[in-house]
Structure 1
Amino acid sequence: MSPTPPPDHIDSDAAQLASLGYQSEFKRDMSPWANFSLGFTYLSPVVAIYTMFAFGLATGGPPMIWSLVITGVGQLLVALVFSEVVAQFPVAGGVYPWARRLWGRRYAWLTGWVYMMALFVTIASVVSGAGPYIASLLGFEASVNTTIICSLAILALATIINYMGTRVLAMAAIIGFTAELLGALAVGGWLLVTERHHNLGVVFDSFGAGNGGNYLWAFAAAALVGIYNYYGFEACGDVAEEVPDPGRLIPKAMRRTIYVGGAAATFVALALVLSVADIPAVISGKDADPVSGVLNEAFGPVGSKIILGVVLLSFLSCSMSLQAAASRLAYSYGRDDMIVGSRWLRKFSQAKRVPPYALLAAGVIPALVVLASKFSQDALTKIVSFASVGIYLGFQMVVFAALRARLKGWEPSGKYRLGKWGLPVNIMALVYGVVAIIIMSWPRTPDAPWYDNYIVLISGVVVVGAGLLYMALRRPYGRSDAPYDDAIPKARPVTALTDEPELSNT
């Protein structure tokens, strides 16, 4: 851990937060290194690749790896927009308080609602993805019931770590980051040296993926691998009240999360692609678990167990970081009295310096999603699909709010500014996000029941619709006098001007 920040930083951070209308109860115990580690373990290249590799390879063949490059560039644009916003408004909770300052209370409420639901589902998707690896490590069958039990165990452990406070969370994030990065480099390097069956040209060969149709559609479907990988950087801003000098340090952490996480994910995916001996078997469905097969072949029974242990540590770190982000968002919601149960969500443990009931919500709600997966086939793919589109929708609501604010005169005034590049970067980030949402929502299985074919679109409509209905019935956005819509300059009252000198009353 880095040393305690000097008092002048603490005082200036508190003064900036006070100018934004808040007095924080958090301790600024999270070092820059820990803040970056939190974003990295949330993004978690190992979790993303190991969870979605089989799907991506079976759907799009080896060229699916290029989706990691394309989405990485797109999400970097989003991260640059977020960097400007968090530098000016370093408030806990991320997208909700950002949207509140950029646009207004109603828009911010809906942004926070969509993002919070997506975060809960994302937590469920990550712990569900860990289930089969736990089964493989312990040597039992990964049935639906055992996967659910293992998922709930990972979720409970992540909740306990979060409850122990910011300092423990920061330490766990650093440990998780170190283990995951070293593990990714070691595994990828060993596979390339000892288990490579193809040359680099394979990443341009689809091996017939897409059933002979237009390959663009197959690639777009497989792009879920890249889309699922590149979020997590925003977690650096979700804990803005726990980081010293957040306006300077958080934008750096966000960008580094994209750079390092994207490079690690691409390296791992490339090593796995080159190490799968029978790619057509994966595409045809004969080999449904190519990752475990490659690891067993390359490392043997004992070595593969060690690798699986590192993978599970990555899943735990990712779950923990996701929970931290979700709980800070729920706390921020509660602090502004924006939702039912706010008096509990805003409660704060002075001993642990965490919001305990917000953390509990970030454990219980994902657990219910995990339990519901028992009643659905292909539950993991469906959960991941909605989690991704929900996160992207929350992101793009902030990107759109930032673009609207710029056009109305907002000039970012934080410690990080894009200057003349702000508007073009903002526009490109919005275009990328809209295209990504369309790709995720587009139905691709015409032979499936309609509700399966449109599951992503339906789930998105249900979440947004439920939020709009709640807003209409309860009007939660108007209960707090916390500042809002203050990024956009307000027009000054017009006063009469005269060239005549002011007359004295005497």
Structure 2
Amino acid sequence: MKEAKEAKVDRSEQRLRELGYKQELKRELTSFTNFSVSFSVVSILTGLTSLYGTALNSGGPAVIIWGWVFVSAMSMCVAAAMAEICSSYPTSGGLYYWSSKLAGRHGPFYAWVTGWWNLLGQFGCTAGIDFGLAILLCSVISLANGWVYERWHVVLIYFLILIIHGLINTFLVRLIAIMNTISVWVHIGGVVIILVTLLVKAEHKASASFVFTSFVNNTGWSSSVYVVLLGLLQSQFTMTGYDASAHMTEETKNADVAGPVGILMAVGVSFVAGLGYLLALTFGIQNLDEVLGTTTGSPIAQIFLDAVGETGALLLLAILLIAQFFCGNASVTANSRMIYAFSRDGAMPGSKYLHRIHPTLKSPIWGIWLSCFVSALLGLLYLINVVAFSAITSIATIGLYISYGLPTFCRLVYARDSFEPGPISLGRFSNPIGIIACVWIVIITVLFVLPPASPVTPLSMNYTVVIVAASAFYIFGNWYFNARHWFKGPVSNIDLEDNEHDFVAGSLSNKETTMVEGGKTEYEVAEKEEI
């Protein structure tokens, strides 16, 4: 009986048990479907579309094209450093689990900080994706029938999109893998269709010198270098979310290989497809002034309209809408898995509920709807300020990349000689690539809280700095005054018999306690007891 039981445990599940967790989620994703989740969240047809107009004003075609090449190279360094660690620790906790294991005695602190920045970034990512979809949908409706929409219309549509994505992730979890696979082909096929259509049907095409060397500065800033750096936001926001492959490893077969490969492929394939998309759009510009001053609400819609007419534009925009819908759904999936894993270790208010998997639906329902709710709150910023969308995208970029960099930093500083790589290893390139990744993350963290336009007014201010500062105050303040007394990092949730593999297990009790005087612990994680 014992041998039969062990035979049912595949390599990925066995590794998960070694890391201290029992198998609760269904492990049915293949290497391709794991990659498809990250590729869908990166979604070049979402990020590059949403901020194309911003980049046109902050650097123009030259920054759009060459910025994409440069940012993709830097992102590949970050992704490679992450992939190596993911191969060693394939768990849904992903980044915060890695930080905990790599930072030694400082593990709880780094796990706490990494997990919360990753959550902030994922909330911002989901909000940015679905909000971009809402704006584009309003633009398409406006183009089709002349509807004049207002900001509150955009917000209502945004809420509806979040609800739909929440329902899909709750009740149609079996279809998510299929949807992500379809999403890959929608993105790749969509890029090919748009590229061919614009290059063949457009009456006039922009010159190569315009596409590769033209510089535009409508920001009000006099420094060209500063404007170029601002223009990188489009590319860097797009090239985020590939950590989704790590968060899906507990649902993936052969996870210690499929997870890291999914991370690397998401960045590599996105670079190639994204370059083709940007070239198609930029060569397809008929009149730059009309695109920048468009009344359609979307520079992309104006490019399509000028190049192929109203009917053709609506068909091409439909491809973008479908791609963005799949992207938003994948983002909610990845976000909910992070909430599930983080709360499993008692790190979030309401952890008692958030880490539960529905016994029938096999889905972390509480995590799904928390993701949608927080993203909805971020969308309300648009009612206050029209530049809020840029702030949301900056929050996503900063939060995610800080969480991407911390595990790599811990490996370089605390586990330089003790880290044991998995099947995917960078070998002697590990440290140089890790250093490049960390330096780049510091640069973009500073860059994306700077004001995008001059003069700086209440309408043009970058409110990212306010949200990031408030988040930092909560993360570090809560750690110092509260969490450091009880949060011990990832804790085992399995209770196994000793077997020939010498599994050492522990019993876990995440006890919710009443807040007592002096602001003491809200949650108390019991120590791991060896049996």
SS at match of 1:223: helix
SS at match of 1:353: coil
Query: Aligned partners of 1:220, 1:189: CA distance in 2, in Å?
Result: 31
Alignment of 1:37 onto 2:36: yes
Q: Give per-residue Cα distances to partners, 1:103-154, cap 9 Å, x unaligned.
A: 2112111111111012112211111111222123334333201111111121
Q: CA deviation at 1:45?
A: 0.1
Answer yes or no: is the 8 Å Cα contact 1:403–1:423 preserved in 2.
yes
Alignment of 1:135 onto 2:135: no
Identity of counterpart residues, as a percentage?
21
Alignment of 1:186 onto 2:185: no
Amino acid at match of 1:86: C
The corresponding residue for 1:465 is 473
Query: Aligned partners of 1:188, 1:9: CA distance in 2, in Å?
Result: 48
Answer yes or no: is the 8 Å Cα contact 2:102–2:411 preserved in 1.
yes
**Which has more helix, going by share of residues?**
1
The count of aligned residue pairs is 477
Amino acid at match of 1:114: W
Alignment of 1:161 onto 2:168: yes
More deviation in 473-482 or 380-389?
473-482
SS at match of 1:441: coil
Q: Give per-residue Cα distances to partners, 1:72-93, cap 9 Å, x unaligned.
A: 0011011111111111111113
Answer yes or no: is the 8 Å Cα contact 1:346–1:358 preserved in 2.
yes
Query: Aligned partners of 2:443, 2:483: CA distance in 1, in Å?
Result: 32
Q: CA deviation at 1:281?
A: 4.9
TM-score, L = length of structure 1: 0.89
1:386-465 map, 5 Å:
386-407=395-416, 409-449=417-457, 453-465=461-473
Answer yes or no: is the 8 Å Cα contact 2:398–2:448 preserved in 1.
yes
Answer yes or no: is the 8 Å Cα contact 1:327–1:355 preserved in 2.
yes
Alignment of 1:108 onto 2:111: yes
Answer yes or no: is the 8 Å Cα contact 1:131–1:142 preserved in 2.
no
The corresponding residue for 1:504 is none
Cα distance 1:320–1:284, how it changes in 2: closer, same or farther (>3 A)?
A: closer
Query: Aligned partners of 1:166, 1:418: CA distance in 2, in Å?
Result: 34
Answer yes or no: is the 8 Å Cα contact 1:207–1:280 preserved in 2.
no
The corresponding residue for 1:311 is 320
Cα distance 1:90–1:308, how it changes in 2: closer, same or farther (>3 A)?
A: same
Answer yes or no: is the 8 Å Cα contact 1:41–1:173 preserved in 2.
yes
Query: Aligned partners of 1:329, 1:309: CA distance in 2, in Å?
Result: 31
More deviation in 157-166 or 27-36?
157-166
1:7-46 map, 5 Å:
10-46=9-45
Q: CA deviation at 1:69?
A: 0.6
Q: CA deviation at 1:168?
A: 1.4
Answer yes or no: is the 8 Å Cα contact 1:144–1:374 preserved in 2.
yes
The corresponding residue for 1:502 is none
Query: Aligned partners of 1:282, 1:306: CA distance in 2, in Å?
Result: 19
The corresponding residue for 1:383 is 392
Cα distance 1:166–1:79, how it changes in 2: closer, same or farther (>3 A)?
A: farther
Answer yes or no: is the 8 Å Cα contact 2:219–2:452 preserved in 1.
no
Answer yes or no: is the 8 Å Cα contact 2:117–2:402 preserved in 1.
yes
Q: CA deviation at 1:479?
A: 4.5
Answer yes or no: is the 8 Å Cα contact 2:292–2:299 preserved in 1.
no
Query: Aligned partners of 2:295, 2:167: CA distance in 1, in Å?
Result: 40
Query: Aligned partners of 1:380, 1:477: CA distance in 2, in Å?
Result: 37
Answer yes or no: is the 8 Å Cα contact 2:88–2:256 preserved in 1.
yes
More deviation in 46-55 or 315-324?
315-324
SS at match of 2:51: helix
Q: Which of 133, 144, 158 lines up with 1:151 in the alignment?
A: 158
Answer yes or no: is the 8 Å Cα contact 1:96–1:111 preserved in 2.
yes
Amino acid at match of 1:217: Y
Query: Aligned partners of 1:354, 1:437: CA distance in 2, in Å?
Result: 33
1:207-286 map, 5 Å:
207=216, 213-282=222-291
Q: CA deviation at 1:322?
A: 1.2
Q: CA deviation at 1:454?
A: 5.0
Q: Give per-residue Cα distances to partners, 1:268-298, cap 9 Å, x unaligned.
A: 1111111112224555788963211121233
Alignment of 1:76 onto 2:76: yes
Cα distance 1:80–1:341, how it changes in 2: closer, same or farther (>3 A)?
A: same
Q: CA deviation at 1:398?
A: 2.3
Q: Give per-residue Cα distances to partners, 1:400-434, cap 9 Å, x unaligned.
A: 12222343x23333111111111111111111211
The corresponding residue for 1:498 is none
Cα distance 1:210–1:136, how it changes in 2: closer, same or farther (>3 A)?
A: closer
Query: Aligned partners of 2:363, 2:115: CA distance in 1, in Å?
Result: 20
The corresponding residue for 1:487 is none
More deviation in 199-208 or 329-338?
199-208
Q: CA deviation at 1:8?
A: 6.4
Amino acid at match of 1:449: T
Query: Aligned partners of 2:153, 2:132: CA distance in 1, in Å?
Result: 12
TM-score, L = length of structure 2: 0.85
Answer yes or no: is the 8 Å Cα contact 2:108–2:487 preserved in 1.
no
SS at match of 1:25: coil
Answer yes or no: is the 8 Å Cα contact 1:106–1:477 preserved in 2.
no
Q: Which of 276, 288, 300 lines up with 2:309 in the alignment?
A: 300
Query: Aligned partners of 1:400, 1:47: CA distance in 2, in Å?
Result: 30
SS at match of 2:58: helix
Q: CA deviation at 1:482?
A: 3.8
Q: CA deviation at 1:9?
A: 8.7
Answer yes or no: is the 8 Å Cα contact 2:102–2:419 preserved in 1.
no
The corresponding residue for 2:129 is 126
The corresponding residue for 2:96 is 96
SS at match of 1:141: coil
Consecutive unaligned residues of structure 1, counting only runs of 5 or more, are: 1-6, 485-506
Answer yes or no: is the 8 Å Cα contact 1:58–1:282 preserved in 2.
no
Structure 1 stretches of 4+ with a deviation exceeding 6 A read 284-288
Query: Aligned partners of 1:221, 1:184: CA distance in 2, in Å?
Result: 25
Answer yes or no: is the 8 Å Cα contact 2:95–2:407 preserved in 1.
yes
Amino acid at match of 1:115: N
